[in-house]
Amino acid sequence: MYGTDDDASKMLDESSRTKITHAQKTKYVMHISILAIIHFLVFWYIPIQGNIKLYKKPICDRNVFGCRNFQDNGFLRVFYLLVCVYFYFSAVQIRAGFPLLKKASSLMQYDDSVLAL
């Protein structure tokens, strides 16, 4: 009724497959690496080092003024929010792909004169 699994008409045409470019693979690897590094810095390294410098211990009391934990540090939360916005736009760029050919943005882009440099 539905045909066999080895029916050639059900196979996808090779030209309809999405091709992942080297630039997309590189962007994906960089995206994952930066994601891991930022989370390490924001949630572990910066709060612990800040508390050690101020209070000589990695964890401070919540009642103490100037605690460097993520929940109590507004600058760290704003930084993390900006990084999340960057990750969102980076993920959209990975999903949409990169243009294969660059369109000329200037009339003098391909001119070899001194004026174009």
Render each residue's pLDDT in the chain as its tens digit; 117 residues. 455 555 555 555 555 556 777 877 888 898 899 999 999 999 899 888 888 888 888 887 767 676 778 777 888 899 999 999 998 988 887 777 666 555 566 665 665 666 655
User: How far apart (Å, rounded) are the C-alpha atoms in residues 83 and 34?
Assistant: 10
Q: Supply the range of the domain harboring residue 59.
A: 20-96
H or E segment to which residue 88 belongs: helix 74-96
Residue 3 in any domain: the answer is no
C-alpha pair distances (Å), 35 with each of 39, 47, 84, 87, 115 = 6, 17, 9, 8, 42
Q: Are 51 and 58 in contact (CB under 8 A)?
A: yes
Residue 62 in any domain: the answer is yes
Nearest to 28 by CA among 97, 103, 116, 80: 97
Per the structure, the count of domains in the chain is: 1
pTM > 0.75: yes or no: no
Residue 8 in any domain: the answer is no
Residue 87 in any domain: the answer is yes
